[in-house]
Amino acid sequence: MRSNFINPLVFLFPKTRHSELAATIQYLKVENEILRARLPDHIRTTRAERRRLLRLGKPLGSKLRQLITFVCYSTFLRWERDAKTKSGNPATPGPGRPRVSKDLVATVLKMATENQWGYPRIHGEIKKLGFKAARATIRNILKEHGLHPRPLRGEERWKDFLKRHGQTLWACDFLSKKIWTRCGLLECYVLFFINVSSRRVHVAGVTLNPNEQWIAQQARNFRMHLDDTGQNKIVLLRDGDKKFTDHVDDTFKRLDITPIELPHYSPDLNAFAERWVKSLKEECLDHFIVFGVGHLDHLTTEYAKFYNTYRPHQGVGNVPLSKIQPPDDPPKASDVRCKEFLGGLLKHYYRESA
């Protein structure tokens, strides 16, 4: 059975003069270019296909430069060089450009996530480290992993601000608790300060009347606490509570403490202080009926000591703020001891020393 797919060129070429053959080849070349324009950008060839192109193209010599459209002429010459250096195998290690190393990708992503750099800046840092990569490669890596190649300047995330200023950034707030006194049930207030970086809490005082004179005195006491811990100028976040009057702010400023009033209805901006209030209430105050200011002061002070020393914190790797180092080997169950606080409400487990 005769095939219906025989190419008519088989019958055309033997009857064609040289000039007509040249015109035919030129037409086919333009037609090939038009067809390739409608294909994807990269045409991937197999090893067998490259061998066939080499076998047919070598005899044409430099004339191939005017004829070839399937690939660039320089690519064909590279295939020839590869054929000589690889024992007749014109195949390259892989189609397209060489693959980007995993180390380069990991380094680029590390710089991009830890900074707000665009790909030109990252490219400069990459070159300093000895990586060989074009700027377009850095840009493509960022795009492939969902990162903007040129992040917008000035749109800094709140957590980035807190991380950079954490050591000198404190937050303060009041919490209230109903207590029983000789005059009945009264509202009592606790003023506390918390460091954003270390999460350590300083309970300033407890009072039934938090006027500006009392708060100013607590500010001076807090300044002495900062001096004891070697901290000079700090920034203090506070909410818009009317208890923080102009006189209180002036006192803070004279003590090298810069108060910053947060916008109304923005508890997330003072999240560390809000979270400590929740922890204090859920883990301590909600379990007691408080009798008097002294009782509330004792409860909050003891809880703050436990919080700063023994309690694990999920936000800092689920370890205590005091950085208690665990032993290299796990203890026997018989060596585990428990230290209780506030009548057994708070517990700290430790290993008995030999």
What are the tens digits of pLDDT across the range 169-214? 899 999 999 999 998 999 999 999 999 888 899 999 999 999 999 9
In a shared domain, residues 16 and 45: no
d(CA 173, CA 17): 97
Candidate from 280-284, 288-292, 350-354 with smallest mean pLDDT: 350-354
Q: Does 309 share its domain with 178?
A: yes
Between 49 and 193, the higher pLDDT residue: 193
Q: Are 119 and 109 in contact (CB under 8 A)?
A: no
- Same domain for 244 and 150? no
Angle at the Cα of 305 (from 317 to 302), degrees rounded to 5?
135
- Cα–Cα distance list, 331 to 87, 347, 353 (Å): 64, 18, 10
CATH number at residue 288: 3.30.420.10
* pLDDT, position 157: 61
pTM of the complete model? 0.56
Beta partners for residue 258, in sequence order: 235
CA 314 to chain centre: 18
- Backbone angles phi and psi of 260, in degrees to 5: -125, 120
**High-pLDDT (> 90) share of the chain, %:** 32
Same domain, 171 and 147: no
d(CA 198, CA 166): 8
Longest dimension (CA), the chain: 122
Whether residue 274 sits in one domain with residue 175: yes
Are both 312 and 166 inside the same structural domain?
yes
Q: Looking at the structure, do residues 114 and 24 belong to the same domain, yes or no?
A: no
Return the residue matching tokens 């980007």.
Answer: 100
Regarding beta strands 169-181 and 184-195, do their DSSP bridges make them parallel or antiparallel, or are they unpaired?
antiparallel
Do 213 and 310 sit in the same domain of this protein?
yes
Mean pLDDT comparison of 90-94, 163-167, 280-284, 350-354, highest-scoring range: 280-284
Domain that holds residue 33: 1-38
Residues 128 and 8 in one domain: no
Number of independent structural domains in the chain: 5
> Do residues 12 and 125 share a domain?
no
Pair 183, 294 in one domain: yes
- Which of 116, 121, 126 lies closest to 147 in space, CA to CA? 116
Same domain, 178 and 192: yes
Predicted pLDDT at 98: 62
Residues 195 and 191: their CA atoms lie apart, in Å, by 14
